[in-house]
Amino acid sequence: MEPWTILVIGLLILGISTPLWTTVGLLRRIGELQNASSPRHLARRAENPVTPSQVAVLIAAHNEELVISETIASALMLVPAGNIHVVSDGSSDNTADIANAAGVNCLELFPNRGKAGALAAGIEYFDLVNNYEVMLLLDADTRLTPDYLKTGLPLFTAPDVVAVAGRAKSLPDRGRRNPVARILLTYRERLYTAVQLLLKYGQASGPANVVNIVPGFASMYRTRILPEIDVAAPGLLIEDFNMTFEVHAKKLGRIEFHPSAAIAYTQDPDNLGDYVRQMRRWQLGFWQTVRRHGMHRGLFWTVLLLHIVELISASLVLILAIPIVIFSQLTDISLLRPQDLLIGVMLPDYLLTVFAACFLRRPSMLLWGLTYPLMRLLDSFICLATLAQAWTRTTTGTWASPTRRLQPS
């Protein structure tokens, strides 16, 4: 196979977006170093435009008794108890009791409305729009870093910034020795590192403003735009893609993200069953949101279309590559050789692992990274399966109890 063909395969796996937004991110970083405009510099040199007393924390929870206390505790380090609002959505365990015992506000809903419905109910019931400047959304398993608000609130200095996307990190799980758990957790860490540093940082630059998700695990919105957002849009499995698309579709303002700001930890799946269910939920929620909003004119929608094309093409390449290699070996038709697969698919994927391992200082990731192409193959099947389901099935958005594990403090 010709070298240019291998290059095309590599681009299909990594996409054009990765080098493009990495370059934009590097230029943004150079600009920050020149004018000292990073969140930490802003926090030191100027008063934050929003104070912690003006921040409402909203947590939607369904049967989260194993993790909710730690999440509330991390929020209590940043804001008063009266600023924290828990919506227990049809919980049958002690979620509401734990919230009440912690002295925070708690609303109990019956029956289960789903996360989006619970958030919408909490925003209305606690009148967050009129009582606070900023709403911080938390998942029930999120742990905020002590400087989450100190670094995150300065990003609201620009008046056109209406949302700040939190930076996700995986909760450390040093006590687990199960190889499958290690693969899943380090693979997710690689995903967070690659997406947030190589893509989202550049996409959030002022001239671009094309971030496609403000993750609901730990992100902030100006409350004044909440009446314009259909938080609980019907037929969607998750809410964060839709809320982000609403910001772009209605031109409500700019979404900001910085790798050194608004950092929080989340509990990621450590077994294959939970991983598949979570990925299916994320992917189906994305495709449902794309179906709901369609395409419009503008840079965000152009970048979104490119992302969709790259997502589908990479999934098809990963799924078809091995069968094509086998076919080529069994026939006289040389479509794809094993070495082409190694150079065009395995090598670009492993380069992402090397980058993440160096950035996180996790040398063990170099070993586990040999298995990541199998994980990407699984992701590809889920991506294409949910693409079909998004146009053929309807969902209510109600949630089942997630599998949680006790996490060492």
186 vs 405, higher pLDDT: 186
**What local confidence, expressed as pLDDT, does residue 175 receive?**
62
Taking the C-alpha atoms of residue 95 and residue 395, their distance in angstroms, rounded to an integer, is: 25
Neighbours of 298 (CB within 10 A): 14
Angle between helices 179-193 and 272-293 (to 10 degrees): 30
Q: Residue 375 falls within a domain, yes or no? A: no
pLDDT band at 395 (very low <50, low <70, confident <90, very high): confident
**Three-state SS letters, 339-394:** HHHHHHHHHHHHHHHHHHHHHHCCCHHHHHHHHHHHHHHHHHHHHHHHHHHHCCCC
Q: Residue 305 falls within a domain, yes or no? A: no
Q: Residue 322 falls within a domain, yes or no? A: no
**What local confidence, expressed as pLDDT, does residue 47 receive?**
59
**What local confidence, expressed as pLDDT, does residue 344 receive?**
75
Q: Residue 178 falls within a domain, yes or no? A: yes
Taking the C-alpha atoms of residue 141 and residue 58, their distance in angstroms, rounded to an integer, is: 13
**Contact assessment for residue 296 and residue 252, using Cβ atoms and an 8 Å cutoff:** no
pLDDT band at 16 (very low <50, low <70, confident <90, very high): confident
pLDDT band at 130 (very low <50, low <70, confident <90, very high): very high
How many structural domains does the chain have?
A: 1
Percent of the chain scoring above 70 in pLDDT: 90
Supply the range of the domain harboring residue 186. Answer: 39-194+212-268
Q: Residue 6 falls within a domain, yes or no? A: no
What stretches of 221-298 show up as alpha helix (H) in DSSP?
Answer: 240-249, 272-293
Taking the C-alpha atoms of residue 189 and residue 169, their distance in angstroms, rounded to an integer, is: 7
Query: Domain of 61: which CATH number?
Result: 3.90.550.10
The predicted model scores a pTM of 0.92
Q: Residue 12 falls within a domain, yes or no? A: no
> Who contacts 131 (Cβ-Cβ below 8 Å, separation ≥6)?
56
Strand partners, 161: 254
Q: Of the segments 26-35, 165-174, 213-222, 319-328, which one has the largest average pLDDT value?
A: 213-222
Q: Residue 29 falls within a domain, yes or no? A: no
pLDDT band at 339 (very low <50, low <70, confident <90, very high): confident
346 vs 68, higher pLDDT: 68
pLDDT exceeds cutoff 60 at 218 = yes
Q: Residue 163 falls within a domain, yes or no? A: yes
pLDDT band at 327 (very low <50, low <70, confident <90, very high): confident
